[in-house]
Amino acid sequence: MNESDIQRRQFLKTSVGAAAVAIAPGMLLFDMAHGKAEAVTSKVRWGMLIDTANCAEGCNDCVTACNKENGLSGGLSSTDSQWIRKIELKDMRTGRELSLPMMCQHCEHPPCVDVCPTGASFKRADGIVLVDKHTCIGCRYCMMACPYKARSFVHEPLHDQNPDVPRGKGTVESCTMCVHRVDKGQQPACAEACPNKSILFGDLNDPQSEIYMKVRSVASTQVRADLQLNPGVRYQGL
């Protein structure tokens, strides 16, 4: 084996190893960026419980916080990304009206992951569903597969991005549950900003967590439970 062959093999070995680290779904995003290699674990499943009774009609604090945290424009044009939106529901039988936030539901069985041809859509071991911007080809199959219409396509060039939230023209994106904050032990921006504390975030697998105890003590609903996707986002009062 000549010297060029040895160098070529070493290059391929190094490249494959680097690629594996770059896209490994079990890595903490924040820790990877800071040279650490701590893995997430399936013992944890991050989720949210949203109390629709306390979610005020006309309040968009969660949307505003999401836009600011993740560098979104907030709908300045019709093609702008929208990671969380407020929707108004009305029961036609009773006339009851509800206002609630809708975002990526971080499903246990995410259809967006199933249809992605490159593996760009993936679910971390802790249940957070993400998109790898380096391998997303912008085919938008995931957008068609998502029953919650929670994903957006980036049509325009992006400027002044948050370095913790990589985005890119020609790729698909959605709520990341503020993974860059979660990996640092913080709350997602929407949960932190809600003035009525209507968004409860925590570990659905931890018997000591508030969300674990609450989902077992109050009636909660998974949107489109008939699809058996087991979303990580639950709604109280639907």
pTM of this prediction? 0.82
| Interatomic CA distance for residues 19 and 152, integer angstroms | 26
pLDDT band at 162 (very low <50, low <70, confident <90, very high): confident
Domains and CATH numbers, the chain: 25-110+175-236 (3.30.70.20)
Cα distance between residue 75 and residue 77, in whole Å: 5
Bridge partners of 152? 173
More confident residue, 162 or 22: 162
Angle at 23 between CA 16 and CA 136, to 5 degrees: 110
Under the banding of pLDDT at 50, 70 and 90, the label for residue 28 is: low
In degrees and rounded to multiples of 5, residue 201 shows phi and psi of: -110, 145
Q: What tens digit of pLDDT does each residue of 83-118 get?
A: 999 998 888 888 888 889 999 999 999 999 999 999
- DSSP sequence for 85-98: EEEEEE-TTT--EE
- Taking only the tens place, the pLDDT of each residue in 181-230 is 999 999 999 999 999 999 999 999 999 999 999 999 999 999 999 999 99
Q: Evaluate whether 173 touches 66 at the Cβ level (below 8 Å).
A: no
Q: Which tens digit of pLDDT belongs to each residue from 32-48?
A: 444 444 567 789 999 99
